[in-house]
Chain A
Amino acid sequence: AQTVTQSQPEMSVQEAETVTLSCTYDTSENNYYLFWYKQPPSRQMILVIRQEAYKQQNATENRFSVNFQKAAKSFSLKISDSQLGDTAMYFCAFMKLALTSYGKLTFGQGTILTVHP
């Protein structure tokens, strides 16, 4: 079974600064996907970024980028130029790449990020 751990229950950052959220995972699988989801106070779950384990290059989406360390089983999210709208709970998630995964996402406990003006 897979487990996902987010060791930072809460983080805060000043507007325009950079913050990094940590995520580690445990799996015996070799092929999988990793995701970061954002849940703002509105409760809506929004995909921020995803990473395929077979790709060595770290994924980036505008101000969001990841540092994927497969050997260390680490998947951190870096938010650059933080904006007030980035205030949300962030979830790291794992999905096995296999037909038998049936799309099952395993989530971490979440990190509450507050961006201060």
Chain B
Amino acid sequence: DTAVSQTPKYLVTQMGNDKSIKCEQNLGHDTMYWYKQDSKKFLKIMFSYNNKELIINETVPNRFSPKSPDKAHLNLHINSLELGDSAVYFCASSRASGGADTQYFGPGTRLTVL
């Protein structure tokens, strides 16, 4: 069983479109995250949710809107896609926030904006 899954794994779209990436974890964790890995492989946190509540928003443009319908899911919706949004987006989860519980990462979604 995949612990943290993301769909789709690859996403190619045109500038200006709106797209969503879905994330699900079956680990029973309370906290979920979105990270962005740019073309230089640099990883940076975007958002963190704890029990469906937003707890980290790292100055991400408001075109990005995370949504957590329940503890096991954290989806990322991106409006008006721009070329600079091309990246690999990773979802992760951990048992709790604030401690050093191991974060388990999904396989990533490679987003290409043309």
Contacts and interface: CB of A to CB of B under 8 A. Distances in A.
B83 interface: no
Contact of A109 (B33, B40, B55, B92): B40
A108 B105 CA distance: 17
Interface in B46-71: 48, 50, 55-56, 58
Given A91-B43, A107-B43, A109-B41, A43 B100 contact: no
A44 B102 contact: no
Interface residues of A, number: 26
B7 interface: no
23 contacts: A42-B107, A43-B107, A44-B105, A44-B107, A44-B108, A45-B105, A47-B104, A52-B100, A89-B41, A97-B100, A99-B98, A102-B97, A103-B31, A103-B48, A103-B94, A103-B101, A103-B103, A105-B35, A105-B43, A105-B45, A107-B43, A107-B44, A109-B40
Interface of B: 31, 33, 35, 40-45, 48, 50, 55-56, 58, 88, 90, 92, 94, 96-105, 107-108, 110
